[in-house]
Amino acid sequence: MALVEEAERKRRRLGRLLAGVFILALVMGPGPGIYLVNPSPDAAAPWTVWGIPVLYVWAVSWFFVMAATVVLAYRKVWLAGDSD
């Protein structure tokens, strides 16, 4: 019984952590976090990373963070939470 409760507590803690990471990805990816990398419209040369425009790299990076969060949630939180 205690082991089950402990597992449930861990699952909930992981669920909250993943929710936090996902919200962070939403704020950073398409949200105000962009201003950390947003090129100035007056810049002489565009910002690129390995020759790729920085906003594209930014979008793909945060997509991978979100995707990893969903995969972890599916395997560790959702599967354990639903019994059907």
Partner 1 sequence: MMMTLAAIDLGYTPHVVLALYLVVLVGIGFWGYLRGRQTEEDYYLAGRGQGVLVTVLTIMATMFSSAAMLGIPGMVYKDGAAFLLFALNLPLAGMAVYLLGSRISRMGRNRGYVTPADMVADYYDGSHAVRLLAALTGFLYVIPYIVMQIKAGGYLAQGLFPTAAPVSILGVEMDMFSLGVNALSLITMIYVLVGGMRSVAWSDVLQGVLLLGGMILAGIATVAAMGGVSGYFKAVSTLPPEAQSLPGASGSWPAWKLMTVCIFGAVGSMVQPAQWMRYYSARSSATLRRCALIFALVLPACFLFGVMIVALGGRVLYPPTLVDGQVIPHEMIGSKPSEVDQVVITMIQEQIPLLLGTGLGVIVVSILLVAIMAASMSTADSNLHALSAVLTRDVYDRYVRPAASERERTWVGRGVIVVATILALWLVHASERSTGDFNPLSLIAEMMLLAIAYACQLLPATLDMLFFRRGTRAGVIAGMLSGLLVVTCFTPLPALFLGGGSGIEGAAKNVKSLLDIGCCGFLVNVTVFALVSRWTRPVDPEAKARFAKDLNSN
Positions touching partner 1 (CB under 8 A) are 22, 25-27, 29-35, 38-43, 46-48, 51-56, 58-60, 62-63, 66-67, 69-71, 73-74, 78-79, 82-84
Cβ–Cβ under 8 Å, residues 8 and 83: no
Least distance to partner 1, CB of residue 11, Å: 15
Cβ–Cβ under 8 Å, residues 77 and 15: yes
67/52 Cα distance (integer angstroms): 21
CB atoms within 10 A of CB 58: 20
77/66 Cα distance (integer angstroms): 15
